[in-house]
Amino acid sequence: MMTMRTNEELLQEILTADDGSGPIPLTTYRGDALREIMALVEERTAVEGRITAAVNRARAEGATWAMVGLALGVTRQGALKHYRDLAGAA
């Protein structure tokens, strides 16, 4: 005969799953949207790297931060704030 576990016992089992790290929500998700999100984040990361490299090239070619901002669709200040520390890094 199988004995019923209490809610506390079930909760403890869930919390200590995966060698104590708890449950991994992605393993129980059955839809496709999270996989799509993860793939898009990978793409975004790659594109952001390409944009940073292009900003660096534009600055090396003499483009002002105002010009870079215009190309990015942001203000000069927005471009400067986001890419100043990345300049030369890509």
Q: Which residue has the tokens 């839809």?
A: 31
Assigned domain for 44 exists: yes
Domain of 61 in residue numbering reads as: 26-90
d(CA 52, CA 90): 6
List all residues 6 or more positions away from 14 whose beta carbon is below 8 Å from its beta carbon: 22, 23
Assigned domain for 3 exists: no
Tell me the per-residue pLDDT of 39-89, one tens digit each, with 9 for 90 and over. 999 999 999 999 999 999 999 999 999 999 999 999 999 999 999 988 665
Q: pTM (2 decimals)? A: 0.63
The model's confidence at residue 20, banded by pLDDT at 50, 70 and 90, is low
Query: Which helix (H) or strand (E) covers residue 76, if one does?
Result: helix 76-83
Count structural domains, the chain.
1
Residue 90 has pLDDT above 60, yes or no: no
Assigned domain for 11 exists: no
- Res 23: pLDDT: 64
Select the more confidently predicted residue: 53 or 30.
Answer: 53
Assigned domain for 34 exists: yes
